[in-house]
Homo-oligomer: A and B are copies of this chain.
Amino acid sequence: MARIDDLRKIATRLRIHSLRMTTVAGSGHPTTCLSAADLAACLFFSEMRWNTKDPTDPASDEFVLSKGHAAPLLWAAYAEAGVIPLERLLDLRKITSDLEGHPTPRMPWVKAATGSLGQGLSVGAGMALAQRLDKSPARTFVLMGDGECAEGQVWEAAADAAAWKLRNLVAVVDVNRLGQSDPTMHQHDLAALARKFRAFGWDDITVDGHKIDKVLAALKLAGKKGKPTVILARTLKGKGVSFIEDKNGWHGKPLKADELAKALEEIGCLPDVDSRRFVHKPKPFPKKSVPAALDFPRTTYTEKTATRMAYGNALLSLGKVNPRVVAIDGDVKNSTYADKFFEAFPSRSFQSFIAEQNMAGVGMGLAAKGFIPFMATFAAFLTRAHDQIRMAAYSFSNLKVCGSHVGVSIGEDGPSQMGLEDLAMFRPIPGCVVLYPSDAVSSEACVAAAAARKGLCYIRTSRPATPILYPPGETFAIGGSKVLRKGEGDAVTVIAAGITVHEALKAFDALKKDGIGLRVIDAYSVEPLDTETILREVAATGGRAVVVEDHYAAGGLGEAVAQALAGRASLAHLCVRELPRSGKPDELLDRFGISAAHIVRAVKELAGR
């Protein structure tokens, strides 16, 4: 057991490392490391049980640095624990180093990227859920800043964690009073923060965050009341260095060389202590073997079915073959049809209520612990979790996202409920797979493809029931497409996806009567796009192409195709170009220019007929 004195020495070492690293890097946030150094020492070298040899050991407690700008402190703690060589600390923020400015899983001990504030508690809640699902005795610790408690996501996570009774979740808030540009709302009024957490169902303990013995005592009490626990630690930003301590204007500023010298004079030299001795190993806990089954028996469809309904069926079937699949809902599961999974697997289903940000963060936490989380809501409301999805990408997360109710084809509910920017949200993310099925068969196949592909995947589903286009066994590879109509001398290629595939097929029939041949491609894999097929088919129709999509003009299928075809084809792009409104689905498809009639007109224009 570490004595108070050892931990104090370790904290001093963490402070010295943090100061040096940031001065050498010439940027970074040393003062926020200094406020949290004692807390980190207590966590990493006394309270936490963790295996320094294996970052994936399920017996280990998890740690999330929600205040990601304190990354130097995290790297210092890992170096002190012997996980990374001490000398590598001075590579902080170099392009050649994985010790980035904010934590990313390039360093394998980091399981979720942080740096966009207020997200760590959700991730921690997801990890704590995972530990409970795995029946692991391990706990999850989240180190937060007081400034980030202004983020609503913190309160989404707090409410859900309390509802889920996550007694194995411990938040430690480094209440250092100072934000980036201003003092925080509550400064050192810790009682104000305590009232909030208490009102949200947490156990709360307030301590002096620089008194090692008090912090240790508080940590010992965590979870004892059967609730998630927050330790509110009163600290000073820049603690230990007189000229920066508790001073505004020092956020995100490294010390200059002479300032560092002065600071180190005050702090003294690196205390002599072997921190590694104080890392507490966890009791061994068996690793779960992850079953390989990622495909599942498909439903046979004969009647018109909405792709969202098929998503629900597929998720249920997947859940039956793979116990690592879990689902998260934002109180719309009867619309996304995730409710089928919820009913069958209540213990693997998590209701995040109407809190999309937390839903995504919890998904990241579950994915970080080896689960395969499917989160679903209306595509429009995924914009609420855009920042979290962005951070999921930087976390190399295996999160699966389904957005239902896309486009004007939802009808009467009106624009606020229409997902018209979701492709533009997911397509930019490097490596993110974007699938957009047009019928129930392809929808089920997209779920299977997403499950099988490691990494962030997005599935776009529609509200209306659509005819079945494909036979039961049809395969849908990521990066593929389907040529649905093809004839000699076709005039134009129409590239569609989802609901507009059906409009394109209607246009095919209409044009056939006029003797105009149409090639129709179902570009169900929006990202990666099947550029090869599209190029080939468009070339075969004289370089004439029409793209039609139930999405705004920018960032969707149209621009993806425009990129792919640049310089090689004349392109007409049918899409939603105005702010839409309420109306019947068919009326809206026509009003906003993406119905069969509009395709017919565009084809005739391109073909000069």
- What is A's interface to B at a CB cutoff of 8 Å? 25-28, 68, 93-95, 97, 100-102, 104, 106, 113-118, 147-148, 150-156, 159, 163, 179-182, 184-185, 192, 195-196, 198-200, 329, 331-335, 339, 351-358, 380-381, 383-384, 386-387, 390-391, 393-394, 411-417, 420-421, 424-425, 427-431, 527, 543, 551-556, 558-560, 562-563, 565-571, 573, 576-579, 581-584, 587-588, 591
Contact = CB atoms under 8 A, between A and B. Distances in A.
Contacts of A551: 428
Nearest to A162: B185
Contacts of A387: 356, 380-381, 383-384, 386
Contacts of A163: 185
Nearest to A157: B152
Nearest to A591: B95
Contacts of A543: 567
What copy number does this chain have within its complex?
2
A516 to B, nearest CB: 20
B416 A380 contact: no
Contacts of A26: 412
Contacts of A570: 566-567
B390 A380 contact: yes
Given A199-B198, A425-B424, A582 B335 contact: no
12 contacts: A95-B591, A100-B415, A102-B414, A102-B416, A150-B354, A180-B332, A181-B334, A185-B353, A554-B555, A562-B566, A563-B571, A563-B573
A603 to B, nearest CB: 15
Contacts of A587: 95
Nearest to A96: B583
Contact of A581 (B104, B148, B415, B568): B104
Contacts of A93: 412, 414, 582-583
Q: Which of A163, A354, A579 has the most CB of B within 10 A?
A: A354
Contacts of A583: 93-95
A113 B380 CA distance: 14
A574 to B, nearest CB: 13
Given A115-B416, A430-B578, A431-B579, A554 B562 contact: no
A584 B543 CA distance: 43
A333 B571 CA distance: 44
Given A181-B335, A554-B560, A558-B563, 6 more contacts: A28-B412, A113-B416, A150-B156, A181-B334, A427-B555, A554-B555
A551 B573 CA distance: 23
A152 B583 CA distance: 31
Given A116-B384, A386-B383, A414-B100, A554 B393 contact: no
Contacts of A430: 552-553, 576-579
Q: Which of A151, A152, A352, A429 has the most CB of B within 10 A?
A: A152
A213 to B, nearest CB: 29
B412 A147 contact: no
Contact of A420 (B116, B416, B428, B582): B428
Given A150-B159, A428-B421, A179 B100 contact: no
Contact of A101 (B155, B329, B352, B417): B417
Considering residues A116, A339, A565, A573, which has the most beta carbons from chain B within 10 angstroms of its beta carbon? A116
Given A185-B353, A331-B181, A420-B428, A27 B413 contact: yes
Given A543-B567, A567-B569, A417 B115 contact: yes
Contacts of A579: 393-394, 430-431
A413 B254 CA distance: 13
A517 B517 CA distance: 44
Contacts of A425: 386, 421, 424-425
B414 A104 contact: yes
Nearest to A573: B563
A500 B307 CA distance: 42
Contacts of A581: 95, 100, 104, 106
B417 A102 contact: yes
A545 to B, nearest CB: 9
Contacts of A352: 150
Nearest to A115: B416
Contacts of A118: 354
